[in-house]
Chain A
Amino acid sequence: MYQTDMYEGMIAETVMIAGANGDLINAYYARPLGPGPFPGMVVIHHMPGWDEWYREATRKIAHHGYAALSPNLYYRAGHGTPEDVAAKVRADGGVPDEQVVGDLAGALAFLRAHPSNNGKVGVWGTCSGGRHAYLAACRLQFEAAIDCWGGRVVMAESDLNERFPVAPIDYTPDLSCPLLGIFGEEDHSPTVEQVAIHEAALKKHGKDYEFHMYPNAGHGFFYHNRPMYRQAQAVDGWEKMFAFMAKHLG
């Protein structure tokens, strides 16, 4: 825990990393100053894009002692304001799962290769990023994963298509690491029922997980710039996240 007589420093900058198919994509990289060792954390932005909230969140995670890397999963859609780029991706039906997994594999490799890495890397995301975090934790080797209100982990057969060929829940037997799930009871995606289905799959396959379902909270209750923000639930959720990260990545 931070003490007021501690030295503290951080660098945060845009870097280029190799993503899916070796494509170069940009990423926001925030890390503590000093030799480390530091655990790594892949930070996956939400559907509204690679935006200011995600830059803040990436720096917050670095403040807590992690080398945090947030890849721009919308890089291939072109450049503009985060909202305009995200609207383009929305119009195109979202980014394909296979491409996302490739980009996250690149982010993971970038963090693991850094000489200051302590040998452990986690993954976290919210909204579509929560879904992507779960997908990545099943398809790649992480040491911890956090899914905040990721919708469409449970998918109907009719929702599967070329971009989303497999429901993430179907990869549950391959989940590579402990999982923390943070959800709100009033969320419409995922619903309480969908979270229960996900939890049953984790139990069935003997996975190490903890789920927290917050009352009086809906989708995106960490977002302090949105009306869905719920102060008490968000403070508790962040505390649970950092405790989980310290336990599995520290």
Chain B
Amino acid sequence: MCTMIMHKVGIEGFGKGTQGWFGVNQANVSYDHPFHAPLEHALNIDFVDEAQGPGARVAVELSAEAARSLVQTILAVLDEAESGGHLAVNGNQ
């Protein structure tokens, strides 16, 4: 725990873990030591359902640059979907 930079956000969705798909209700976003990425610190996102125990986790570890690029891309995709009227069609707006 060397930076202790960690935020939690409630979400709705599904993730695919080692046991298949499961519902996730929280994303834990940290900038701290990764487990696998070859970096001293990484932007780590864990999609979890804490009620199912520590194993209910889908993890990604990104460089800061990759994380910023991902955020921009997600927003761009959502903007495009919104301008195309797709968010309303799916009842997600």
Say how far B23's CB is from chain A's closest CB, in angstroms.
17
Task: Please determine whether B3 and A189 come into contact, CB atoms closer than 8 angstroms.
Answer: yes
Say how far A148's CB is from chain B's closest CB, in angstroms.
13
Q: When chains A and B are docked, how far (Å) is the Cα of A109 from the Cα of B44?
A: 37
List, in ascending order, chain B residues with CB within 8 A of A84's CB: 54-55, 57
Residues 3-31 of B, flagged 1 when their CB comes within 8 A of A and 0 if not, give 11010100000000000000000001010
List, in ascending order, chain A residues with CB within 8 A of B4's CB: 93-94, 152, 159
Please give the number of chain B residues whose Cβ is less than 8 angstroms from any Cβ of chain A in the complex. Answer: 23
Q: In the complex, what residue of chain A is closest to B33 when comparing beta carbons?
A: A47
Task: Please determine whether B57 and A87 come into contact, CB atoms closer than 8 angstroms.
Answer: yes
Task: Please determine whether B6 and A78 come into contact, CB atoms closer than 8 angstroms.
Answer: no
List, in ascending order, chain B residues with CB within 8 A of A77's CB: 54
List, in ascending order, chain B residues with CB within 8 A of A90's CB: 1, 6, 28, 30, 32, 44, 46
Task: Please determine whether A226 and B38 come into contact, CB atoms closer than 8 angstroms.
Answer: yes
Find A80's partner among B1, B40, B44, B53 (CB 8 Å cutoff). Answer: B53
Say which size band chain A's interface belongs to: 20 to 34
Q: When chains A and B are docked, how far (Å) is the Cα of A128 from the Cα of B33?
A: 11
List, in ascending order, chain A residues with CB within 8 A of B2's CB: 47, 127-128, 151-152, 188-189, 219
Q: When chains A and B are docked, how far (Å) is the Cα of A89 from the Cα of B35?
A: 13
Is A193 close to B, CB under 8 A?
no
Task: Please determine whether B35 and A91 come into contact, CB atoms closer than 8 angstroms.
Answer: no
Residues 78-121 of A, flagged 1 when their CB comes within 8 A of B and 0 if not, give 11110111111111011000000000000000000000000000
Is A237 close to B, CB under 8 A?
no
Is A48 close to B, CB under 8 A?
yes
Q: In the complex, what residue of chain A is closest to B46 when comparing beta carbons?
A: A87
Say how far B12's CB is from chain A's closest CB, in angstroms.
18
Residues 35-77 of B, flagged 1 when their CB comes within 8 A of A and 0 if not, give 1001011001010101001110101000000000000000000
Q: When chains A and B are docked, how far (Å) is the Cα of A86 from the Cα of B30?
A: 13
Q: In the complex, what residue of chain A is closest to B38 when comparing beta carbons?
A: A227
Task: Please determine whether A81 and B38 come into contact, CB atoms closer than 8 angstroms.
Answer: no
| Extra 14 A-B pairs, beta carbons < 8 Å, given A77-B54, A87-B59 | A48-B35, A83-B59, A87-B46, A87-B57, A88-B48, A88-B57, A91-B50, A127-B2, A127-B33, A128-B1, A188-B2, A188-B40, A189-B2, A220-B33
7 A-B residue contacts at CB 8 Å?
A85-B54, A88-B48, A90-B30, A127-B2, A151-B2, A159-B4, A189-B3
